Amino acid sequence: MSDEPIKLAEGMMAALRQSGRIENHVCEFRGCGKRAPFGFAKPRQPSLWFCFEHREHGDMDLAG
């Protein structure tokens, strides 16, 4: 799964610089709790993080 591209929005890049790390995020999907390397961000909202399995939920959230 490590060869999948990571989607980085501009807002997420800012959040990433602030936190300084990407590996400690946990998937937002209810009941998942896996490590979440895929970050999604909308303007003026907190970043959302999803694991490989649930990253499509982040895509849908950004689209909506």
Closer CB to Zn ion, residue 30 or residue 44?
30
Closer CB to Zn ion, residue 16 or residue 53?
53
d(CA 53, CA 38): 10
Closer CB to Zn ion, residue 14 or residue 56?
56
Structure token pair of residue 60: 């849908």
Hey, is 40 helix, strand or coil? strand
- Would you count residue 51 as binding Zn ion (CB under 5 A)? yes
d(CA 61, CA 39): 12
List interacting residues with Zn ion (CB under 5 A): 27, 29, 32, 34, 51, 54
